Structure 1
């Protein structure tokens, strides 16, 4: 048991160093932050879903709203300059981005959910790859999207409000620099 604790304590500073290197890459335009929207309890969307009507969708709860604000504070600490902030058009993603309060939110349809046949997963994933390969690196990039989109690109199933820093340019498989959870 003591060996396990010792090993954990020895590895903990390495994770912090690795995370700082990932954040430095993000600030330098050598990484992109791909985030799952903050906590919106449930799965998928209710029957009668209408993209333009938030009352027909799953939405952030109080904890999800706080996660989004916490992300905004974290990102402001990581970078004091401008940020490119893109979001799925789903209300829970747009609200996550807006509550972060770090930049003007730019809706990006290619990162809309394709869960339950609402979109075309392979086509959207390829378009996202292309976007990340060709996006102007004038400032750090943040994309707020859905679990299915992140899983299709990375193989990772993120928790609500989890962020993944991806190395740019993208490789095959995608290189994950860090995973950041906002509990």
Structure 2
């Protein structure tokens, strides 16, 4: 049984992660999922270690009230890295929280994948090196993102944008067969 620690802290990440879990379960029966979940991931039968709703902090006032909860959430996830020992950590968006977790997982020898490249092309391009040190594979929404990581120690793969999947003609969607993940 392959263990995947999957983490999404925001509603958009929850939707992406839930759809990926459903697709992976359809393709493989030997996968076990646990992680930082939202309602859609829980509906997809991902064992919840913590709620994504508790991990997200939007404003300064909210940050003061949720700082302890967010720290406990990160601690719980780090404990899962040590105790549950997943084969793969898959983080979705929320880079300020989840790339910290990914960096710690990578140091433990756990394969790390981050879905939704931070927009380094728009904000702070120097972050690419730090991102590459945190993850083994980066799943990118935009085709212009993988070249930004060329020459760095990370595999950056264009997987497409879910909003485009909803508006593209069916014949174009059918050509996409890869999730970008190779498990085991």
Q: TM-score under structure 2 normalisation?
A: 0.40
The answer to which structure has the higher strand fraction is 2
Name which structure has the greater RCO, CA cutoff 8 Å, separation 6+: 1
Q: TM-score under structure 1 normalisation?
A: 0.40
